[in-house]
Structure 1
Amino acid sequence: MRRFCLVAVWMGFALMMGVGSAGVASAADDCAHRFGAHQQVADGGGVQDWAVTDLKKSGDVAPGFPVAGQLWEATATVMAVSGTSTPVIPNFSATSDGGSYPVLWQVASPQGISAATLAQGQTSTGKIYFDVTGGDPMAVKYTAGGAEPLMWCCSEAMMAMPMDKCTCCADMKEPCPCCAGKM
């Protein structure tokens, strides 16, 4: 992920140099793993674009699922960028500095994101849920096979924390280079 952040910084610099001040504003607002950022993953013959926002304690009910800890939720949006795409909801997990909590994909909630196949250009938005039995989660990951996981973790609260608490930026001694000054 650190290499990806450095590449993102370089690309932002190249964009700024190549297109002038209009590129500066859009590059400054982008952070590869900040909540709300769009990230893509290959899905068989297609490509999915995911964004995750609003990780928080949930007031919803998990129908038919006995929650052992505190129910947490995040809002996820997926778009089929190319080809048809089937969202694989079980690939999500929430992470804290002391644990990982798999998504409760089996919870049938009317607010939940649909796993129905999307045609190219279609989107689906809904909640994903986590049963948090330890420390509060700070990040949401999407792990697909052998690919590097997608991660959303940077927010204003995250940037105020020591970087060793961020599962993405743990080896850094300063704010993430692609997020620094952009919160």
Structure 2
Amino acid sequence: MRRFGVIVIAAAAMVGFGHPAIASAAEGCMHGFGSHQRVVDAGDAVVQEWTVTDLKKSADAAPGYPLAGQLWEATATVQAVSGTVTPIIPNFRAPTADGGSYPVLWQLSSPRGIPGATLGQGQTSTGTVYFDVTGADPVAVTYTDGGPQQLMWCGDAMMMRDCPCCAMDG
């Protein structure tokens, strides 16, 4: 009977403290700008970790690329956690809150751009990804590797449906 009482007390404590833990999870949402997200390939032999921050209008020039709208940028960092990783820059897009989306300008040559050079295990590369925004402002950045896995970084302007931390923010 004493064991049952300890279990009941432990369960009550978890219920009492469970809500603050959930609230703090909303503050550090798993897909917010600055979060680290992984793509795993080749049966876990290749793991790359991406981080995207600072989506904003860009003051950079777009030499050799005829912009149709406003140039936007975000900073992207990739790390080869395990195995050899080749960053696939064309996998980025910048969605809008109204369902639109802009492809990354992977062909834009810039000294600040993220290089597509292959990284050895443990190496990291950081640079800028650019988007030609011709309508509504982007509110997020996504990375799709061709499979079912999609990485997403967003802020308060775009909430993910069925996300526990977004549901708590809204």
Provide TM-score, normalisation by structure 1: 0.72
Amino acid at match of 2:147: G
Q: Partners of 1:32 and 1:131 in 2: how far apart?
A: 27
* Map of 1:66 onto structure 2: 66
* Map of 1:9 onto structure 2: none
For residues 23-63 of structure 1, the C-alpha deviation after alignment (integer angstroms, 9 at most, x for no partner) is x6x96753211000000002444111000000000000111
- SS of the counterpart of 1:85? coil
Kept in 2, the 8 Å contact 1:98–1:135? The answer is no
Amino acid at match of 2:154: C
Q: Which 10-residue stretch deviates more, 56-65 or 38-47?
A: 38-47
Kept in 2, the 8 Å contact 1:111–1:126? The answer is yes
* Map of 1:109 onto structure 2: 110
Identify which of 35, 38, 41 aligns with 1:40.
Answer: 38
Q: Partners of 2:73 and 2:115 in 1: how far apart?
A: 15
Q: Partners of 1:58 and 1:152 in 2: how far apart?
A: 18
Percent identity, aligned pairs only, is 67
The gaps in structure 1 that reach 5 residues or longer are 1-16, 18-23, 159-164
- SS of the counterpart of 2:147? coil
For residues 62-106 of structure 1, the C-alpha deviation after alignment (integer angstroms, 9 at most, x for no partner) is 111000001000000000000110000000000102411000000
- SS of the counterpart of 1:90? helix
Count of residues in correspondence between the two structures: 147
Q: Partners of 1:29 and 1:84 in 2: how far apart?
A: 33
Amino acid at match of 1:39: Q
Amino acid at match of 2:102: Y
Q: Partners of 2:64 and 2:54 in 1: how far apart?
A: 24
Amino acid at match of 1:60: D
Q: Per-residue deviation at 1:145?
A: 1.1
**CA 1:55–1:138: 2 relative to 1, 3 Å:** same
Higher strand share: 2
For residues 81-140 of structure 1, the C-alpha deviation after alignment (integer angstroms, 9 at most, x for no partner) is 001100000000001024110000001100000111011111000100000111000110
* Map of 1:75 onto structure 2: 75
Q: Partners of 1:88 and 1:132 in 2: how far apart?
A: 21
Q: Partners of 1:137 and 1:103 in 2: how far apart?
A: 12
Q: Per-residue deviation at 1:150?
A: 0.4
Q: Superposition pairs for residues 15-164 of structure 1, below 5 Å?
A: 30-44=28-42, 45-96=45-96, 97-155=98-156, 158=157
Q: Per-residue deviation at 1:179?
A: 4.9
Kept in 2, the 8 Å contact 1:154–1:179? The answer is no
Which structure has the larger Rg?
A: 2
Moved beyond 4 Å, runs of 4+: 26-29, 179-182
What is the aligned-residue RMSD (CA, Å)? 2.3
